[in-house]
Structure 1
Amino acid sequence: MIKLAVQDVEIERCFAVMRQLRPHLQAETFVATVREMMGQGFQLAFLQDSDAIACVAGFRIQHSLVAGKNLYVDDLATDEAQRSSGHGAAMMAWLRQLAKDAGCNEIHLDSGVQRHRAHRFYLNRNMDIVAHHFSERLND
């Protein structure tokens, strides 16, 4: 089940998985930082498997001159212990549908050049590499 983190306790529960991607984050400031970003359009989604958070995605719906209305994925992380279980694929499918429902033309994300496994994951989901920037056209 994927849902948006809207309550502080939900945001806090996402910290452990998000920190696997962003190790500089601190538990003491995580909720306040996310809340501040939410004021700028950031949203945090999580996939719960049993009682554990298995996958998180930070994203925003935005407009840009290059892409028009698009969904930009700031962060996408699956718990190391639960990788290759389909959670990341489920989150990407959920984000794709959310973007389509919102009238977005594309999905965008950036990934560090050293993250080869992540690149393979994105490429397997029909995303294109554009100067190390990933995008997916949502209209046929």
Structure 2
Amino acid sequence: MAWEVREARDEHDVRRCWPVFRELRENITVEDDFVDRWKRQRDEGYRIVFIERAGEVQAVGGFRILHSMAWGRFLYLDDLAALTDQHGAGLGTAILRFVQDEARREGCAAVHLDTGYQRHRAHKAYLRNGFILNTHHLVWEVDGA
């Protein structure tokens, strides 16, 4: 089935995406905090896309176009999720294809993303959609932040 991927155009659309983001980003527990983060990230070029069925958002993606010395111009996929009961329905693949097409339209050299080691099902989906494992992402956390 061909899923229609739509871009969130305003705060109303973004709030409709909250139930899916809540499943992915357990560190964000309040919808208003999610919207505040979106507003800050939107100013940095972050965009949200979504798929809905029967008027309810079922899957989301969040991305931005960046430049770096290492990779040149690239699309970074910050977020990709579907409601748990929709896993395996092809929604994530539809959003990945949309993002890949957007990278081509934007003149990017690649799509990059980070994923947790424990997300085995997601890894399989990424590999199935042409991604390769090629780096480790390391973090140093500031005390008290």
Give the TM-score normalised by the residue count of structure 1.
Answer: 0.90
2:26 maps to 23
Extract unaligned runs of 5+ from structure 2. 138-145
Which runs of at least 4 in structure 1 moved beyond 6 Å after TM superposition? none
Determine whether 1:115 maps to 2:116.
no
Q: Considering only CA atoms, is the larger Rg found in Structure 1 or Structure 2?
A: 2
Which of 59, 78, 84 is equivalent to 1:80?
84
Between the two proteins, the alignment pairs up a number of residues equal to 133
1:2 aligns with 2:15: no
Q: Is the 8 A contact 1:5 1:44 kept in 2?
A: yes
Q: In proportion to residue count, which structure has more strand?
A: 1
Residue 113 of structure 1 contacts residue 132 of structure 1 at CA under 8 Å; is this kept in 2?
A: no
Encode CA deviations 1:17-62: one digit per residue, 9 max, x unaligned: 0111101212122212101110011111111122111110110011
Distance 2:71 2:37 in 1: 27
1:64-105 superposed Cα distances (whole Å, 9 cap, x missing partner) = 111111100001001111111111111011111111011011
Percent identical pairs in the alignment equals 35
Query: TM-score if structure 2 supplies the norm length?
Result: 0.87
**Separation of aligned partners in 2, 1:78 and 1:40:** 24
49-58 or 106-115: bigger deviation: 49-58
Give the secondary-structure state (helix, strand or coil) at the position aligned to 1:113. coil
